[in-house]
Every structure is written in C-alpha cells, then in structure tokens.
C-alpha cells in the first residue's frame, strides 16, 4: 500500500529540518530524508576538533530563533549545548591587543588606553549599531513573512516597515568609522568576518542585525553544529514524523505538481502534499527530471552564488602556554590598513579545556573568483598548507610559546585518505554566499516558490545576509505559509 505524508523533506540541511520540525509540531505528517554526511566534529589528540567553528547566536538574538525553539520546546536543550563567551571578543594586532567588553565603562577605559581621545566617536558607533539592531526587532517579530507572496502579506509587511524607519533605511556600517587604521579595523573585524557572505551587496538591515548581536555579546560558540541537526531530527520524530537515513530518489510529477518521492530502498513512491527542498543545486538535480521547469528552478538558485569559502586549521595546545586573559574569540589582524579578508583577518576560537590541553580552531575567509559557481569551470587551486602556516604564524603573536605547547595540528579540508578519513575535499568546505538583495529590505535571496506548485526551497540561500538568523527566519516563514495552505491558520501564531 502506498504511503502518504503531508510533507516530505529532501535534505538534512538546518533550514529544511527546521521547517519539517515546525510542520510536524503543527500536526502535519512529515517524512525527512537525512542522508549520511560528514560531521562537523572529529577526534584529534584526545579532544574534539571542528571543521568549522560556527558562531551560533543564542536564542535571544533573534525573534525567529526564539519563536522556533519555543514552538519546538528546544530552548532548554539548546542552552545546554551552547557555551557562553566571556564578554565579547579581542582584537590582536602586531604590537597591540584590544579587549572589547560588554561593560561600557570597561570598554571606554580600554579605548582610552589605546586611543586617547577616541572614546566619544567609538561610543557613538556602537550606540548607532545597538539602536538600529533593537529598532529592527518589530520587523522580525511581525507575523508577516519577510518574503511576502500575496497581497495580504505584502500589506502586512508594509505596515511594519512604516512603523520602523530603520528597517527601510538601515545604516551603512562599512565606511571608515575612524581615521585611525587600527581603531577602524578593531571596530570592523567581527562585522567583516560575519558578513563577508554578501560583500558586494550587503544589506544594511542584515548588517545591523549582525553588528548588534556582536556588540551585545549574543554570539556563543556552538559545541557542535551537528547537535543542532540532531535536535531537529529528534523533534520531527517526536511529533509523529519519520526520518529515513538515506537520500531521496526521483520525484513523481504530474501537471507541475510533485505527487511523490521515490524511496530508493523500497523502490516505492511515497505520496505527499508538500515538498521542502534545500537551496543547494546538487540535491534538487538528483530529484527533479531534466525539464524546462527544472532548468528554470536551477537558474533561480543562481541568484545566490558562492563568494568565499571558510578555511580552518585545528590545533591542540597545552593550557600553560595560553596567555592569561585570552578570550574565547580572538580576531587576529595582520595589516590593519588593508582589506580584512583572507589571512589578513583570522578568527581564533578556543574550545573547552580537556585535561591539560585545549582545542583551538583558526578560521579565515578566502575569496573565490566570480565564476566559482559555474560548475563548468575548474575548481580554484589553493595551497592549503601555505595558508595554514600563515594562520598559525599570526596566532603566534598572542601565543609566543606555541611550538613548545603544540600537541597536534590538522587541516580538516583536503582529500580524504584511509589514515585520515575525517578530511573533507576543499570543494566541500563551508561556502559563504553572495547575491543581489531584492525587495524593499535588500534581504531576499532565493524565493521559496518554484515552478512546481507544491515544491518549496529553504536554506542558507533564502536570506543569505542574515546568517543563522536568516535560516530560522526563512524556515519559520515557510512553515507559516504551508500551514496556511493546509488550512491551519492558527498554528505558529
């Protein structure tokens, strides 16, 4: 007998799983395909190393995150998996270190120590970021989806925008904030690192959200991004959903509607009313038939293209060589007068102490050529070893006795071998996305709707400039839209 689900999720991307979990919580029967994938964490010299040190904002950082986790009863679970940062972050230059504290008095004293006379201009910059961040809250708290589809949704969103001038205008935070190159670089470092994803067309509204979160100390180190995915899979199961650990097969399509998805194991089609796919081409190409509609959909995904990749180096360091007062998040800047990209801006993320050692993940953002998203072009050639050496050399500025205390070093991007199966090819390293913002807000990337009536896409390409907040916001918006289509108007309200 043919199985039937209200919704089928085609991928275990965070956005897809979150949408599926919200639909299941609202009473829809959900089937999630969760194919095996390389986990973000792996063992290294007795500690847990990470391919990418994700900066995950706590749920208070965004209304969509708070609402989604509240709906799924996951707030307490998420808190147990998040490690609070010590107040905010450090910026390290060749001969100077700046501690950016959450305490206004402490930070004023630090600025006065390094840049006498700059306290008022710096305070003004942070106050502007804080003000716009909080003024945007009503926009994200409104029940009008950020990507309005119908007249009523557009009207509701317009009303919110009229009440929140900052939502329409935003603030340009990327011009020089000081004539002092070091001061300017110190204020912009975390912002540049977090928002390079849309470097060519950064949305001022999204930038203000990231800036406000950084300033408020809301960014926390996720112990492991895999935990978030596991929590969402568990939520689907607990709300009458089902999860199969394999990739989906081909779609059964009739009159521009997906009628079912082939289960490769049973070779039977599973019927459905709605399908949620990721904004990644590879998954959709495997599921959809070669047709004009598929080409139209894949073309729309091209609105958001790869702009950069995050490159990581993992170190295991003896605790006694780490300097006292070192924060969990450190931004290392080599040449403050130049663009903060590549090995000129390295993010050092410290993990939890295990015995007498501590894991450290070094991250930098590497630009990709404009045609990097064109699969007909060869993969860019990158000397990972040379880049890794530059990052480690920069880290030695704050840890001068690193060589004496270094227990292990590893590059988690490269070609896997039998001896090092955790390695992931460079082409699969985390991609930073860029796209042309559309609409009044300049936030939108790939639209939810597709040429297929009941196939929707959601993920990092939906609201690329908002990072994790964008993932939660887009998933919540799509879940609301599907619930309304299914006649459940009071769900998620």
Whether the predicted pLDDT of 202 surpasses 80: no
pLDDT tens for each residue of 85-132: 555 788 999 888 888 887 788 888 988 998 888 888 888 877 777 788
Q: How far is CA 129 from CA 79, 109, 173, 408, 433, in A?
A: 26, 20, 8, 40, 23
Cα–Cα nearest to 342, from 192, 466, 180, 173:
192
Contact, 290 vs 22, CB < 8 A? no
* Among 78-87, 291-300, 333-342, 480-489, the least confident range: 78-87
Residues 46, 183: one domain? yes
Residues 100, 248: one domain? no
Answer yes or no: is 457 within a domain.
yes
Residues 149, 62: one domain? yes
Answer yes or no: is 493 within a domain.
no
In terms of Cβ atoms closer than 10 Å to its own Cβ (0-12, 13-18, 19+), residue 395 is: buried
Instruction: Show contacts of 373-378: CB within 8 Å, 24+ apart.
Output: 373/302, 373/305, 373/306
Residues 446, 465: one domain? yes
Q: What phi and psi, each to the nearest 5 degrees, are found at residue 379?
A: -65, 135
Answer yes or no: is 81 within a domain.
yes
Answer yes or no: is 33 within a domain.
yes
Contact, 274 vs 6, CB < 8 A? yes
The pLDDT value given to residue 421: 81
Residues 324, 384: one domain? yes
**Residue 302, helix vs strand vs coil:** coil
Whether the predicted pLDDT of 321 surpasses 60: yes
The pLDDT value given to residue 39: 80
Domain hosting 120: range is 42-223+304-432
Residues 183, 318: one domain? yes
Highest average pLDDT, of 46-60, 216-230, 293-307, 425-439, comes from: 293-307
Residues 25, 117: one domain? no
Answer yes or no: is 491 within a domain.
no
Total length of the chain? 493
CATH assignment at residue 271: 3.50.50.60
Residues 242, 366: one domain? no
CA distance 303 to 76: 37
Residues 217, 240: one domain? no
For the chain, percent of residues with pLDDT exceeding 70: 86
The pLDDT value given to residue 374: 59
pLDDT tens for each residue of 21-48: 999 998 899 999 998 877 888 889 999 8
Cα–Cα nearest to 32, from 225, 254, 232, 265:
232
Q: Which residues of 242-258 are buried (b: 16+ CB within 10 A; e: fewer)?
A: ebbeebbbebbbeeeeb
Residues 207, 291: one domain? no
Q: Which residue has the tokens 């205390």?
A: 405
Residues 100, 117: one domain? yes
pTM of the model: 0.89
Residues 122, 239: one domain? no
Could you give the number of structural domains in the chain?
A: 2
């Amino acid at each position: 007998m043919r199985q039937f689900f209200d919704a089928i999720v085609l991928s275990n991307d965070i956005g897809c799983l979150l949408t599926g979990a919200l639909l299941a919580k609202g009473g829809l029967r959900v089937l999630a395909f969760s194919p095996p994938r390389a986990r973000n964490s792996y063992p290294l010299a007795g500690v847990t190393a990470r391919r990418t040190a994700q900066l995950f904002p706590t749920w208070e950082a965004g209304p969509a995150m708070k609402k989604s986790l509240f709906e799924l009863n996951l707030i307490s679970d998420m808190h147990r998996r998040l490690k609070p940062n010590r107040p905010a972050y450090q910026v390290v230059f060749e001969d100077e270190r700046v501690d950016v504290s959450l305490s206004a008095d402490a930070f004023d004293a630090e600025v006065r120590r390094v840049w006498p006379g700059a306290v008022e201009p710096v305070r003004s910059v942070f106050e502007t970021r804080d003000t716009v961040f909080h003024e945007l809250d009503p926009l994200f708290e409104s029940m009008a989806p950020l990507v309005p589809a119908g007249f009523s949704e557009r009207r509701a969103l317009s009303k919110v925008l009229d009440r929140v001038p900052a939502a329409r205008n935003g603030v340009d935070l990327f011009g020089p904030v000081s004539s002092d190159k070091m001061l300017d670089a110190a204020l912009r470092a975390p912002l540049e690192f977090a928002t390079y994803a849309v470097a060519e067309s950064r949305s001022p509204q999204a930038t203000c959200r990231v800036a406000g979160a950084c300033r408020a100390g809301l960014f926390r180190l996720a112990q492991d991004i895999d935990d978030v995915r596991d929590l969402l899979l568990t939520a689907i199961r607990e709300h009458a959903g089902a999860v199969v650990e394999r990739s989906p097969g081909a779609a059964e399509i009739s009159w521009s509607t997906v009628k079912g998805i082939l289960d490769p194991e049973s070779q039977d089609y599973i019927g459905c009313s709605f399908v949620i796919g990721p904004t990644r081409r590879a998954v959709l190409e495997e599921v959809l038939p070669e047709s004009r509609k598929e080409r139209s959909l894949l073309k729309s995904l091209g609105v958001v293209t790869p702009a950069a990749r995050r490159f990581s180096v993992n170190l295991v360091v003896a605790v006694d060589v780490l300097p006292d007062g070192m924060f969990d998040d450190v931004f290392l800047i080599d040449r403050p007068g130049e663009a903060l990209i590549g090995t000129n801006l390295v993010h050092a993320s410290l993990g939890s102490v295990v015995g007498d050692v501590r894991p450290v993940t070094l991250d930098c953002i590497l630009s990709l050529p404009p045609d990097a998203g064109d699969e007909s072009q060869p993969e860019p050639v990158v000397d990972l070893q040379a880049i890794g050496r530059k990052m480690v050399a920069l880290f030695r500025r704050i840890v001068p006795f690193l060589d004496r205390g270094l227990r292990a070093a590893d590059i988690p991007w490269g070609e896997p071998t039998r001896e090092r199966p955790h390695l992931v090819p460079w082409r699969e390293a985390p991609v930073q996305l860029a796209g042309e913002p559309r609409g009044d807000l300049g936030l939108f990337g790939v639209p939810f709707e597709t040429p297929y009536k009941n196939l929707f896409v959601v993920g990092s390409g939906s609201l690329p400039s908002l990072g994790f907040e964008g993932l939660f916001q887009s998933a919540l918006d799509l879940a609301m839209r599907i619930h309304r289509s299914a006649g459940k108007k009071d769900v998620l309200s």
